[in-house]
Amino acid sequence: MVIKAVFFDVGEVLVNETREYGTWADWLGVSRHEFSAVFGSVIATGRDYREVFQVFRPSFDLTVERQRRAEAGKPETFDEQDLYPDVRACLSELQRQRILVGVAGNQTIRAEGILRDLKLPLDVLGTSSSWGADKPSDKFFHRLLAEADAPPENVLYVGDRLDWDVRPAQALGLKTALVRRGPWGRILADADVERALLFDIPNLSSLANLVEQYNATGEYLGRRDIPFS
């Protein structure tokens, strides 16, 4: 089955979140090094990343603190400098192949607005906030498939998380690609899920070519076949 649509997660797939989480460390009044270390330990033990904030401030409410930051003139934000350098070329090349290109991730309405302002080469842009469904729920991926207007086997979902991106997409029959960058991409492991990946890649620089080759030949390129750099 050829790939007719490719959808991308946002954080650590398209956007480098280093600056964002650094500003949260600043907001909490802890060192960025300490925040990063705790963040990694929370992920490694299979806990929700939001528990990181509870370590430093037990009463922390992420929704409330986002509002407080906005009112203080320090809202969460990202811009062109936070995009990974391989993003625009990858999206453009996929569109050149006449593949529907979409972005679908767990993001706030504010983040969705920023993504629109970046004017990425996209056909579909959706977030958990506007869709009313969060990953890893089936509802989120059913909405993604409706936007793709294609059967699951013709849709590729690209994420950095085996737990919230890859596993639920595979469960519904989508093809999947794992980008191994950022905390989740480096730390999480699940042998069964990884064996079912279509592509296991260090970044997006090779993805469009891999999709084109797959569509031309039907060749399965698993993790062991792709050189890391």
In this predicted model, what pLDDT tens digit does every residue of 101-158 receive, in sequence order? 999 999 999 999 999 999 999 999 999 999 999 999 999 999 999 999 999 999 999 9
pTM for the structure as a whole: 0.94
Q: What percent of the chain has pLDDT over 90?
A: 94
Which residue from 229, 167, 224, 183 is spatially nearest to 157, judged by alpha carbons?
Answer: 167
Residue 105: beta bridge partners? 127
Average pLDDT over residues 187-205: 97
Q: How confident is the model at residue 219 (pLDDT cuts 50, 70, 90)?
A: confident
Average pLDDT over residues 49-56: 95
Q: What is the pLDDT of residue 226?
A: 44
pLDDT at 10 over 70: yes
Average pLDDT over residues 76-84: 96
Q: Which backbone phi and psi does 223 adopt, to 5 degrees?
A: -55, -45
Stretch (H or E) spanning 5 = strand 5-8
pLDDT at 30 over 60: yes
Residues 201 and 178 sit within 8 Å (Cβ to Cβ): yes
The residues, any chain, with a CB within 8 Å of residue 55's CB and separated by 6 or more, are 38, 42
pLDDT at 100 over 90: yes
Q: How confident is the model at residue 1 (pLDDT cuts 50, 70, 90)?
A: confident
Mean pLDDT (the chain) is: 94
pLDDT at 223 over 50: no
Type of residue found at 155: V
pLDDT at 228 over 50: no
Average pLDDT over residues 40-63: 95
Which residue from 65, 147, 64, 71 is spatially nearest to 105, judged by alpha carbons?
Answer: 147
* Overall fold of domain 5-16+79-225: Rossmann fold (3.40.50)
Q: Which backbone phi and psi does 2 adopt, to 5 degrees?
A: -75, 160
Stretch (H or E) spanning 124 = strand 124-127
pLDDT at 28 over 70: yes
CA pair distance 112, 89, nearest whole angstrom: 21
Annotated domain spans of the chain: 5-16+79-225, 18-71
Q: How confident is the model at residue 221 (pLDDT cuts 50, 70, 90)?
A: low
